[in-house]
Chains A and B, each alone.
Chain A
Amino acid sequence: MRNYDLITPEGTKDLLFGECIIRRNIEQTLLRIFKSRGYSEMITPGLEFFDVFNLNSPYFPQENLYKLTDSKGRLLVMRPDSTMPIARVAATRLRDAMLPLKLCYNQTVYRTEPALKGRSDEIVQTGIELIGSELKIADLEVISTAAEALRSFGMEFSIELGHIGIFKELVGRLDVSDHVKEKIRRNIETKNFPALNDLLDSLGNSPVTAALKKLPALFGGEEVFEKAEELMPDENIKRILGELREIYHDSCEICGREGTITVDLGLVNKTDYYTGLIIKGYLQGHGEEVISGGRYDKLISEFGYDVPAVGFAMNVNGVAKVIEKNGILPAVPAPDMLVYAAEGCEVAALKKSQEYREQGMIVENALFEDLESARAYAIERKIARVVVIDEELCGEEEE
C-alpha cells in the first residue's frame, strides 16, 4: 500500500515557476552582495555526524533534528544549521589559513517544527561568517552587510542589536542554581514581566535584581542607553553597555534612511551560541525575524581552534513570503520563438533553433506531429513567433 505517494512531508513544499524566480533572485542578490565584500562561498554536506551538533552546550535539542544512520550504524543528522559545520571546517581544513576568514553560504537547513503550525522544516539560509577578528570594525562590517542585504529588498526594515554579556554578567552575580538562572532567562526572553518580578522579588532586593527586572523593558532607541546606564550596578557591565552604544551609533550612520536601528537588552535566546553582540533583522509585514546573527567567540574552540567569529543568516523563506504577500508572482518569461520541424527536417530545425538561441533568444523546439498542434501550443504559451523548417526550403514561415 502506498499512502503517501502523492504528497510531500509535513513542513515541506514544492516550489513552482514564479516562486522559484523569487527564491533565486533573493539568493543571487545576497550572494552577489556578500561576494562583492570579499566573502568566499562554501558548501557543506547536507548530512553531518550528530556529534557536530552535540557539543558541550546543547544548542540544538535532539528532538528538533532529523536523524538517520550511515552504513556503519553511526548517527547522522540533516544539517540544522550552517554555522556549526562552518566552524568545523574552520577548525580543520582552514586551520592554517590566514585570518580573518570571510565565508558565505547559501544552503538548506532542516529542523522539525511542531506539526500543523504552518512552519517549514526545510529553510534556505543565506549568510556570512567572519572568522578571526574581535575588533569593533568586524562587528560593524557584519551589521553593514546585513543592512545592505535588507535594503536590497526595497522594503522598510529594521535591525536590532543586543549584547548577551549584560545578562550573563548580571545573572552571574546572583547566588542561585542554574535552574533558577534558566527561569530568569526564560522570563526575560518572553518579556514575561509578572513572572520575572515575582521570581526576582523572592531573591531579595539588590541593584542586580533591579537591573534584571528592567532588562526586558530596555528596548527601543537611544533612550534605552540612558535608562540602562543608571541601572547597571558596576563598571564592568557599564563598559559592555558603552561598547554596544558605540556600535549602535555607528550602525545608525551606516544604515541609511530606509531602515532603522534599534536595541533590545532583553535578547537572551537559549539556543544561541552568541557570546557578545546579537543581531536581528526584521521586515515590515513579517511576524518573525528574517535575520539572526551575532558574535560567537567560543563556538569554534569547541572544535579545538580558539578563534573569535561573528556572522548572520538570512531566512530566505521568510523574505520570499513577504515579497509574495506584497506583490504578484513574477511570470516566467515566455519563449521568443517556437521552431517546428517538418518530417525529415529535425536536424536542420535543431541546428536553426540553436542559431537563434545564440542570438540571445529563448527558443523552444516544437514537439508535435503536425503544425496545427504546434500553433495551438504557441498560442497557449504566448510564444510570439512560430518558425517552420520544411523539406523543400528548409526555410522559414513566420507567424
Chain B
Amino acid sequence: MSKPIRIALTKGRLEKDTVGLLEKLGFDCTAVREKGRKLILPVPDGNLEVVLAKANDVITYVEHGVCDMGVVGKDTIMEMDGKFYELVDLGFGRCKFALAAKKGSDFYSGYGVKTIATKYPNVSRRFFEKKGMDTEIIKIEGSVELAPLLELADGIVDIVETGTTLKENGLEVIEDVAPISARLIANTVSLKMRQAEIENIINLIEENL
C-alpha cells in the first residue's frame, strides 16, 4: 500500500469532533481514541495517519506538506493566513469572533483612538481597517476579558461561544466580526499528487455532514 495520507487534527474539541466524524465514515479510530501520549496515530483501514497538533501548527504542517490535510478552526486560518486549500466547512466547532466592551459603555463614541486587547491582532487590525478606524492593538495571551476590566483597553476582539464569560464579567458584544467553524484544509501539492485518495475522503465527509 502507498504511504498513508497524513491528516493533522487540532487537539481538543475539534479533535474529538473530527474523530467522531471519521468513525461515522466507517474508519476505525481505536488507536486515536486510546492514544496515550502518542502524537502520530494510525487509522489502518483508511490508509490514514492522524497527527495531533496545536491549531497554529496544523496550518504550519499542512503548508509545508509534511501533513497532507488538516482540520483547524476558521479563527486560526483568519489569524495565520498562509498557502493551502480550504476545502470544506465541517460545520462543527461553531462560534464567532466578536467585538465586546464593558456593558453600557458607548464603544464608538468620542474621537480618541480606541485600544483593543486581543489574542488575534491580525483579525482585529483587519476588522478596524475596513471601518477606516485607527486603533491601538495590544496582544494578550490569557483571558482577554481582563483588559477592559483593568482599564487597559476599551474593548476586546475574541472568540465568543455562548457569551457566558462576557456576561459574568460585565462585558457585552458590541458587534459580530466573523462566524467561525472547523475547516478541512489541504496542502496545495498533496491535493494534486494524491487527488483520488483525498477526493475520496472529501466525498465521504460531504455525504456525512
Is B79 positioned at the interface, with any CB of A under 8 Å from its CB? no
Chain B contacts of A287 at CB under 8 A? 63-66, 187-190
Report how many residues on chain A are interfacial, defined by Cβ distance under 8 Å. Answer: 20
Contact with B along A155-196 (1 / 0, CB 8 A): 000101000000000000000000000000000001111110
B192 adjacent to A264 (CB under 8 Å): yes
Q: Give the distance in Å from the alpha carbon of A88 to the alpha carbon of B63 in the complex.
A: 34
Q: Give the distance in Å from the alpha carbon of A284 to the alpha carbon of B188 in the complex.
A: 12
Is A288 positioned at the interface, with any CB of B under 8 Å from its CB? yes
Q: Give the distance in Å from the alpha carbon of A160 to the alpha carbon of B83 in the complex.
A: 17
Chain B contacts of A118 at CB under 8 A? 60, 64
What is the total of A-B residue contacts with beta carbons within 8 Å?
51
Residue among B89, B188, B189 having the largest count of chain A Cβ atoms under 10 Å: B189
B65 adjacent to A288 (CB under 8 Å): yes
Is A274 positioned at the interface, with any CB of B under 8 Å from its CB? no
Chain A contacts of B60 at CB under 8 A? 117-118
Contact with A along B102-113 (1 / 0, CB 8 A): 000000000000
B192 adjacent to A262 (CB under 8 Å): yes
Q: In the complex, which residues 255-287 of chain A have their Cβ closer than 8 Å to any Cβ of chain B?
A: 262, 264, 282, 284, 286-287
Q: In the complex, which residues 168-208 of chain B have their Cβ closer than 8 Å to any Cβ of chain A?
A: 186-193, 195
A190 adjacent to B86 (CB under 8 Å): yes
Residue of A nearest to B63 (CB): A287
Chain B contacts of A286 at CB under 8 A? 65, 189
Is A220 positioned at the interface, with any CB of B under 8 Å from its CB? yes
B89 adjacent to A194 (CB under 8 Å): yes
Known: A193-B88, A194-B89. A158 touches B64 (CB 8 A): no
B193 adjacent to A219 (CB under 8 Å): no
B192 adjacent to A158 (CB under 8 Å): yes
A282 adjacent to B86 (CB under 8 Å): no
A219 adjacent to B64 (CB under 8 Å): no
Contact with B along A231-268 (1 / 0, CB 8 A): 00000000000000000000000000000001010000
Q: Give the distance in Å from the alpha carbon of A117 to the alpha carbon of B186 in the complex.
A: 18
B190 adjacent to A190 (CB under 8 Å): no
Is A48 positioned at the interface, with any CB of B under 8 Å from its CB? no
Chain A contacts of B39 at CB under 8 A? none
B87 adjacent to A282 (CB under 8 Å): no
Q: Give the distance in Å from the alpha carbon of A158 to the alpha carbon of B194 in the complex.
A: 11
Q: Give the distance in Å from the alpha carbon of A117 to the alpha carbon of B190 in the complex.
A: 19
B193 adjacent to A158 (CB under 8 Å): yes
A191 adjacent to B87 (CB under 8 Å): yes
Is B120 positioned at the interface, with any CB of A under 8 Å from its CB? no
Chain A contacts of B63 at CB under 8 A? 117, 287
Residue among A193, A262, A264, A289 having the largest count of chain B Cβ atoms under 10 Å: A193
A220 adjacent to B195 (CB under 8 Å): yes
Is B97 positioned at the interface, with any CB of A under 8 Å from its CB? no
Chain B contacts of A158 at CB under 8 A? 192-193
Q: Give the distance in Å from the alpha carbon of A284 to the alpha carbon of B190 in the complex.
A: 9
Chain A contacts of B83 at CB under 8 A? 288
Q: Give the distance in Å from the alpha carbon of A118 to the alpha carbon of B60 in the complex.
A: 9
Residue of A nearest to B86 (CB): A192
Q: In the complex, which residues 60-82 of chain B have their Cβ closer than 8 Å to any Cβ of chain A?
A: 60, 63-66
The smallest C-beta distance from B66 to any residue of chain A, in angstroms, reads 7
Q: Give the distance in Å from the alpha carbon of A118 to the alpha carbon of B63 in the complex.
A: 11
Q: Give the distance in Å from the alpha carbon of A264 to the alpha carbon of B86 in the complex.
A: 16
The smallest C-beta distance from B138 to any residue of chain A, in angstroms, reads 20
Residue among A118, A193, A220, A287 having the largest count of chain B Cβ atoms under 10 Å: A287
A288 adjacent to B189 (CB under 8 Å): yes
Q: Give the distance in Å from the alpha carbon of A321 to the alpha carbon of B88 in the complex.
A: 31
Known: A219-B195, A288-B189, A289-B189. A191 touches B64 (CB 8 A): no
Chain B contacts of A289 at CB under 8 A? 188-189
Is B85 positioned at the interface, with any CB of A under 8 Å from its CB? yes
Chain B contacts of A220 at CB under 8 A? 195
Chain A contacts of B187 at CB under 8 A? 287
B190 adjacent to A219 (CB under 8 Å): no
B88 adjacent to A194 (CB under 8 Å): yes
Q: Give the distance in Å from the alpha carbon of A160 to the alpha carbon of B192 in the complex.
A: 9
A193 adjacent to B189 (CB under 8 Å): no
Chain A contacts of B195 at CB under 8 A? 219-220, 262
A282 adjacent to B84 (CB under 8 Å): no
A282: contacting residue among B64, B88, B189, CB under 8 A? B189
Residue of A nearest to B67 (CB): A287
Residue among B60, B87, B88, B192 having the largest count of chain A Cβ atoms under 10 Å: B192
Q: What are some 19 contacts across the A-B interface (CB < 8 A)?
A: A117-B60, A118-B60, A118-B64, A160-B192, A191-B186, A192-B85, A193-B87, A194-B86, A219-B191, A219-B195, A262-B192, A264-B192, A282-B192, A282-B193, A286-B189, A287-B63, A287-B190, A288-B65, A288-B83
* Given A118-B64, A160-B192, A192-B85, 16 new contacts (CB under 8 A): A117-B63, A118-B60, A191-B85, A191-B86, A192-B86, A192-B87, A194-B86, A194-B89, A195-B86, A262-B192, A262-B195, A282-B189, A282-B192, A284-B193, A288-B65, A288-B188
What are the nearest 7 A-B pairs in CB distance? A287-B65, A191-B85, A194-B89, A192-B86, A287-B64, A190-B86, A282-B189
